[in-house]
Chains A and B, each alone.
Chain A
């Protein structure tokens, strides 16, 4: 419904920038930001030396770059891409441009999982936190699906139940934070979404998921297009609506959970990236999902770099910056919607 409106909003192809040009441009921009980002760490790393250290040269900055800065830059790419694609799929399936992994409760589920480990079992290994987050996100999805299911699942029911699941997660988190407040700072930083302290192990943690799931989602791109036409039309065209919906949502949720497991509950990236991608490239999934991935990466890169660079040595969580960008973006939407 909403997706159809968005695609119909541009009836004449206004000399649309060709997709390959857009993609190439974004890749170039992201690479540029990445290079700049390498030197932004609160410690004034000279740019050239930082780049050399990133590529393996041993110099005075190697440890810092390879242990701390480079992993964060790589994570921006991976997390941004995962969230962008995840959000795109969810918006397509729910047929609502306001849907995203955070809104339908996946991020909250991941937050509950992480909060459980951080607050209730603080003596547990720090490696359990990403595992808890991952499990939490996926569990939230199954709860959502179970609750929204009644002879199949409609987009509206998914959206509303998702909001309810997010509320459940929220209540659980509040309870945990009140009952076991010792590590409340750590939990809050996690929930705001941050790449602070993520090292090479985090990159290794998310890489396989992104590498496998991104192509998997693109495999379903055409089926998602058909789904966007409406349930009746899609079934008429031979599409197995329920199955496709379930599988694609599951893929999106796993992507979002993997992202949350390393970066915490980052808001707005899964909402803005597909939005912007669709405006630039139209509504066909094969076209706009890769663009959403790159735009997500850009958002994360900008947010993380700003977070490190605004007030060193203070490390402002990337999730806060994405929220600060998301806010004005939505006010802008508001202005446009009134027309």
Chain B
């Protein structure tokens, strides 16, 4: 019973799967953040540095401080860049650069009018798309079209702190803009971003309820796995020229870790930062029990699929146990956010033989 409660608490905190318990200042579930918000420490900017921003108490403090603004008619929101943005009233014309922000906005009951979908309507997975209303594409996430955004006459813009830093000034001239983290960061940061989105939209109650429901869903999914299942796993992305094994702090890895599995890509080559090119020898030396991998653009062939033909790869535990699973790049790597994590978890559990 206690274990289940701890697990539920842990799901919003993600660090549990990797062995570092969500400690005192480490984090709390969405439900109890209202209490913690009263003791919020001053917000500070999260810096993407040269790679991933990991769950750290400063960013948590950011989200908690913003929660204190819930319900106010003019909310002062501190975003990832450290800027304090005033958002008035109830925005209903929202433009989101990342699909993960679109996911979170729609969870709060405000589907966006403009989304950065890389000019590809199929980018957004159906589980999220069904909740969206017809929207205008604002172009690439890395370089969204400022004029199109302007023409949508939004009252709130949610930009990506890492990718859109050069156009923040222009966006702020159009509408209040908050820059949040989605890419180059982990599961927990994405949940924090969801919280910030909820506050900005003045839909705190809906967002908290959605996140609580999310925690329940994740707990149910996790229950489909054997509670003693702590197998090691990796997630990799591959194209014809390169394979990158994601390290233990990246989004997909942290989601699967929250189910109880152990991320094998840790230490040595796999420190902070984005995934870098990995050789077959490194992968074989890691010898994880389970391999999840996706091919870029969901191509049929990639470097990793050619590795599967090699006797060295076939000597791996994962191969012998038939635990090398091919998954979808969009869901596991491109979407991020709240809903995608549920889909990833569900797919992982059913592949691993759970219910």
Contact = CB atoms under 8 A, between A and B. Distances in A.
A185 interface: yes
A189 B146 contact: no
Given A122-B162, A182-B48, A199-B169, A312 B148 contact: yes
Interface string A53-74: 0000000110110011100000
Contact of B50 (A120, A185, A314): A120
Interface string B139-157: 1101111111011010000
B49 A122 contact: yes
Given A126-B165, A182-B48, A197-B170, A68 B143 contact: no
B163 interface: yes
A7 to B, nearest CB: 43
B147 A45 contact: yes
18 contacts: A45-B147, A61-B151, A63-B174, A64-B174, A67-B146, A67-B150, A120-B50, A122-B162, A122-B165, A126-B165, A126-B166, A126-B169, A180-B50, A182-B48, A182-B51, A189-B142, A314-B119, A315-B143
A68 B166 contact: no
Interface in B167-185: 167-170, 173-174, 184
A68 B145 CA distance: 10
B333 to A, nearest CB: 15
B355 interface: no
B221 to A, nearest CB: 31
Q: Which 4 A-B pairs have the closest CB atoms?
A: A41-B147, A64-B150, A313-B139, A313-B145
A314 B116 CA distance: 11
B148 A67 contact: no
Chain A, interface residues (CB within 8 Å), range:
35 or more
B143 A42 contact: no
Nearest to B169: A199
Contact of A315 (B139, B153, B165): B139
A268 interface: no
Contacts of B138: 313
Contacts of B170: 67-68, 197, 199
A129 B166 contact: yes
Interface in B1-48: 47-48
Given A67-B173, A196-B143, A197-B146, A182 B274 contact: yes
B145 A315 contact: yes
A63 B167 CA distance: 14
A181 interface: yes
A68 B147 contact: yes
Interface in B87-104: none
B258 interface: no
Contacts, number: 98
Given A69-B147, A181-B274, A201-B169, A123 B47 contact: yes
Contacts of B71: none
Which residue among A41, A197, A201, A315 has the maximum number of chain B CB atoms within 10 Å of its CB?
Answer: A197
Given A126-B166, A186-B166, A63 B145 contact: no
A122 B183 CA distance: 14
A183 interface: yes
B264 to A, nearest CB: 22
Contacts of A120: 50
A43 interface: yes
A53 to B, nearest CB: 11
A126 B163 CA distance: 12
A42 B142 contact: no
Which residue among A119, A122, A311 has the maximum number of chain B CB atoms within 10 Å of its CB?
Answer: A122
Nearest to B81: A123
Contact of A43 (B47, B142, B147, B184): B147
A42 B139 contact: yes
B273 interface: yes
Contacts of B220: none
Given A186-B163, A314-B119, 19 more contacts: A42-B139, A43-B145, A43-B150, A43-B151, A44-B151, A60-B153, A61-B151, A64-B174, A69-B147, A123-B47, A182-B51, A189-B142, A199-B173, A308-B147, A312-B145, A313-B119, A313-B138, A313-B144, A313-B148
B119 A122 contact: no
A119 B273 CA distance: 13
Nearest to B153: A60
A182 B50 contact: yes
Contacts of A186: 142, 163, 166
A301 B146 CA distance: 18
A186 to B, nearest CB: 7
A58 B45 CA distance: 36
A185 B164 CA distance: 11
A123 B45 CA distance: 10
A80 B170 CA distance: 23
A256 to B, nearest CB: 21
Contacts of B274: 181-182
Nearest to B46: A123
Contacts of B147: 41-43, 45, 64, 68-69, 308
